[in-house]
Amino acid sequence: MSEIAVRHRVRAAVFAAKVAAVGPDQWSNPSPCEGWTARDVVGHVVGMHAAMLGPVGRSLSRAPSVEEDPLAAFVSACADIESLLADPSVAARPIETPMGRLSAERHVDQVASADMVLHGWDLARATGQDDTIDPAELEAMWPAVQRIPPKMRIPGAFGPGIVVYGPEVEVPGDAPLQHRVLGLLGRDPHWSA
């Protein structure tokens, strides 16, 4: 199993645990993502998994919808991505992405896999769970989040309705690393419903 596949599997397990811990009455809770509920956060993550499959001629397997069963929908989408990552010829296939030409597996790693880390925080905040991001993830994210291009913060720059990162949220320079990362990603680390 490649390093990218292992990283996706670990991140998916962490995100799945958060999805599983959401109470039945919490799915409509607002999230730190403006206009999104807790269910919408999971729907977005599942949708990003689907978006990784399209460029290699695949699609999500038949599964319950996020509306019917968020956990089952997420687990099924992850299995589809794991199948892509397990096939070396598909994983290595070059595809065009908003970030340039990448292998399918690098696209998964930089988008759908990485998304689970940030959106895991969103889901945790929306539903009152532990929102601590793994310190190793934060350390790995820190160099890149300091160099987010301004275009990535422009709503609709990559298509109608697509917002990659919101405006930077000012965070003190001596704040914990998690707060600084979240601020650069457009999140208020002190957000609450």
CA angle 35–9–6, rounded 5-degree value:
135
How is domain 3-131 classified at the CATH fold level? Four Helix Bundle (Hemerythrin (Met), subunit A) (1.20.120)
CA of residue 6 relative to chain centroid, distance: 16
pLDDT at 38 > cutoff 70: yes
Residue 109: band (very low, low, confident or very high) from pLDDT cuts 50, 70, 90: very high
User: Is the sign of the CA dihedral 96, 156, 110, 28 positive or negative?
Assistant: negative
Q: So where are the chain's domains?
A: 3-131, 132-193
pTM: 0.94
pLDDT at 159 > cutoff 80: no
* Rounded Cα distance, 81 and 6, in Å: 12
As given in the structure block, the two tokens for residue 34 are: 């403006």
